[in-house]
């Protein structure tokens, strides 16, 4: 009898051990999955920005513990830090300005923000409010897509030095998995932040090799602040988790390091970034761009309302098109999007792509900084296929004649001033668009499905506008060009003039074009016709002025 009891105890003990081991194995597997592996059917993780009690938190004093978890690949799917880890150490927020303004003895503090780190693929829903925080997404070596759901979020970094949301990766051409920012239905979401500071990536052991890259003040700074320019060793540079960028000559003229990593706005991404959803997203940049990526930037689905206010470009794909394998296309299909550059900014295009810019739908307002910037700007072509678009600036960047929707480009001989009202009506007297703005501009682009072939009248403050110098491209090209050829971008000139002088007079032709001219793209002669004739996709009118019978 006693032997049977002992055997039963042994069985119970063995079963308990097996159960415990199974639980441990399951826990380890789940930790690995959520740490970096990513499960396609993983449950949505909810994060309240105002309550971090359920999240693993690493303070600056816990940095050694953080490094141990990082090295063991055991960081949670979401964790909170008082620093942004760059793959080498606690990320420090200094750049050359800190030294120049405060002197060589400037003490640079570690990042002062509560960082919500996403460290896995899956769905992550954010709610609540925070001041002095940011969201950071590590996409290196992920297995699966990342969906960030904004459900009534209000996040203010309380800083001009860091983005409100930063997606980082070593490789700007990474596209194996998508990162999408979604706005929940019926919600308003607010993100306010600054730029991500530049940090030297010049190998400190090879610092002298870069001396000839600098001149003037930059050369002086380079010699004086070697502790800034030589931050990392070559081995450490390889461990950096952020995209590495080579400075161009313009950057170097400002004294920037020859290599650096950076973000440049309220929302920054090293890789492709997608936006979708049916809610409202309001983005305010305290410093530099509104939303910028080193990859493609896409607003998809034909839904969602976006308001972008920036101190530079509101939307920008920043990677130069010459970079091998670079993604730099900008795609827009929304319900509405307002991209407005601050009047206090030094510069800024409203929507700027270093690749192609394609607009397929939505009510789009794009207002550039008055000066030498454009409402719509692209390196490899702008295509308008749908939506209602109005864009103003002091530069006109050519719209492709391969666009699928009619567009109108007006260049005024004198700037349209603050509070001036521009009104465009068709031959039946119906208003096609009315625009009043808080800034002066000399170029306006308009496109909508209402802009059909026909004759139109333009007024400013109810005064009839004519055109002292006209060029209706009408999809026909320019003198000596092929049919459908897009006119070239005009050179910079004085305000109100294209190229700083009146275009050369061209010979008159037979009737058919505005002002009695039928030479395609004829830019000369005084017009007497009071109507603007729209014919075909591409319509450019240059030198528009208040109409005069003389």
CA distances from 455 to 420, 514, 530 (A): 23, 10, 10
Name residue 464's beta-bridge partners: 459
% pLDDT > 90, the chain: 54
Whole-angstrom distance, CA of residue 178 vs CA of residue 123 = 12
Query: In whole angstroms, how far apart are CA 518 and each of 213, 489, 509?
Result: 53, 22, 5
Place of tokens 């380890």: 28
pTM: 0.82
Q: What are phi and psi of 513, to 5 degrees?
A: -100, 160
| Range with lowest mean pLDDT among 204-218, 357-371, 383-397 | 204-218
Lowest mean pLDDT among 217-221, 324-328, 433-437: 324-328
**In the predicted structure, residue 482 carries a pLDDT above the cut 50:** no
Q: What angle do CA 335, 336, 337 make, to 5 degrees?
A: 140
Query: Given this model, what pLDDT does residue 527 score?
Result: 39
pLDDT of residue 480: 25
Q: What are phi and psi of 533, to 5 degrees?
A: -95, 120
Has residue 32 got a pLDDT over 50? Answer: no
Residue found under tokens 């005069």: 548
Give the CA count within 13 Å in the CB-facing half-sphere of 483: 2
215: tokens are 């001149």
Residue 241 to residue 542: CA distance in whole angstroms: 49
Among 523, 529, 498, smallest CA distance to 511 is for 529
Mode of pairing for the β-strands spanning 463-467 and 454-460: antiparallel
| Residues 6 or more apart whose Cβ sits within 8 Å of residue 49 | 116, 126, 127, 128, 129, 130, 133, 153, 155
Round to whole Å and give the CA distance between 546 and 65: 71
What string of H, E and C letters represents the secondary structure of 277-325? ECCEEEEEECCCEEEEECCCEEECCCCCEEEEEECCCCEEECCCCCCCC
Judged by average pLDDT, the poorest of 20-24, 89-93, 131-135, 332-336 is 20-24
pLDDT surpassing 70 at residue 508: no
Both structure tokens of 378: 């692209």
The answer to whether 229 and 322 have CB atoms below 8 angstroms apart is no
Residue with structure tokens 């609540």?
A: 128
Question: How far from 130 is each of 48, 83, 89, 115, 500, CA to CA, in Å?
Answer: 9, 16, 25, 11, 50
Q: Supply 169's token pair.
A: 């990766």
Q: How many residues does the chain have?
A: 550
**In whole angstroms, what is the distance from residue 259 CA to residue 261 CA?**
7
Phi and psi, residue 205, nearest 5°: -80, -15
Asked if residue 312 has pLDDT above 80, the reply is yes
Burial of 25 (0-12, 13-18, 19+ CB in 10 A): exposed
Across residues 504-516, what is the average pLDDT?
A: 29
Q: Which residue has the tokens 């750049």?
A: 95
Which position has the higher pLDDT, 253 or 179? Answer: 179
Q: Encoding tokens for residue 198?
A: 């530049």
Where does residue 186 rank: exposed (0-12), middle (13-18), buried (19+ CB within 10 A)? exposed
Q: Cα separation of 176 and 333, whole Å?
A: 23
């Amino acid at each position: 009898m006693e032997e049977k009891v002992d055997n039963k105890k042994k069985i119970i003990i063995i079963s308990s051990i097996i159960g415990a081991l199974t639980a441990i194995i399951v826990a380890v597997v789940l930790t690995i999955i959520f740490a970096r592996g990513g499960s396609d059917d993983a449950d949505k993780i909810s994060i309240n920005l105002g309550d971090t009690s359920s999240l693993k938190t690493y303070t600056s004093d816990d940095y050694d513990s953080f490094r141990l978890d990082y090295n063991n690949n055991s960081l949670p799917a979401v964790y909170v830090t008082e620093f942004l880890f760059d793959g080498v150490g606690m990320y420090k927020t200094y750049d050359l300005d800190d030294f120049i303004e405060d002197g060589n003895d400037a003490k640079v503090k570690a990042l002062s923000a509560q960082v919500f780190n996403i460290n896995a693929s899956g769905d992550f829903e954010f709610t609540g409010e925070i001041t002095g925080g940011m969201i950071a997404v590590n996409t290196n070596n992920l297995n699966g897509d990342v969906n960030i759901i904004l459900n009534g979020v209000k996040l203010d970094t309380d800083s001009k030095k860091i983005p409100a949301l930063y997606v980082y990766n070593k490789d700007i051409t990474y596209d194996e998995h998508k990162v999408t920012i979604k706005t929940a239905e019926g919600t308003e979401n607010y993100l306010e932040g600054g730029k991500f500071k530049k940090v030297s990536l010049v190998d400190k052991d090879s610092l002298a090799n870069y001396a000839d890259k600098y001149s003037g003040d930059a050369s002086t700074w380079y010699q004086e602040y070697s502790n800034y320019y030589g931050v990392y060793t070559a081995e450490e540079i390889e461990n950096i988790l952020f995209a590495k960028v080579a400075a161009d000559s313009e950057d170097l003229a400002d004294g920037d390091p020859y290599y650096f990593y950076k973000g440049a706005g309220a929302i920054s991404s090293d890789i492709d970034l997608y936006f979708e959803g049916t809610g409202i997203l309001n983005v305010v940049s305290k410093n530099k761009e509104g939303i910028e990526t080193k990859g493609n930037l896409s607003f998809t689905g034909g839904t969602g309302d976006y308001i972008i206010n920036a101190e530079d470009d509101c939307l920008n794909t920043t990677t130069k098109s010459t970079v091998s394998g670079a993604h730099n296309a900008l795609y827009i299909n929304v319900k509405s999007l307002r991209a407005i550059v601050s009047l206090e900014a030094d510069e800024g295009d409203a929507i700027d792509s270093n690749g192609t810019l394609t607009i397929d739908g939505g009510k789009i307002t794009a207002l550039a900084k008055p000066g030498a910037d454009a409402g719509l700007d692209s390196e490899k072509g702008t295509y308008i296929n749908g939506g209602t678009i109005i864009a103003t600036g002091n530069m006109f960047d050519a719209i492709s004649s391969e666009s699928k929707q009619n567009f109108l480009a007006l260049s005024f001989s004198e700037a349209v001033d603050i509070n001036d009202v521009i009104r465009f009506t068709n031959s039946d007297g119906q208003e096609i668009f009315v625009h009043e703005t808080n800034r002066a501009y000399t170029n306006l682009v308009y496109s909508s499905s209402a802009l059909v072939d026909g004759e139109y009248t333009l007024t400013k403050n109810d005064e009839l506008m004519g055109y002292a110098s006209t060029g209706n491209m009408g999809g026909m090209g320019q003198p000596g060009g092929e049919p459908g050829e897009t006119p070239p971008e005009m050179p910079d000139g004085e305000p109100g003039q294209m190229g700083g002088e009146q275009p050369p007079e061209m010979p008159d032709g037979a009737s058919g074009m505005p002002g009695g001219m039928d030479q395609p793209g004829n830019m000369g002669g005084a017009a007497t016709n009071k109507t603007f004739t729209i014919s075909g996709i591409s319509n450019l009118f240059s030198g528009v002025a208040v109409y005069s019978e003389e």
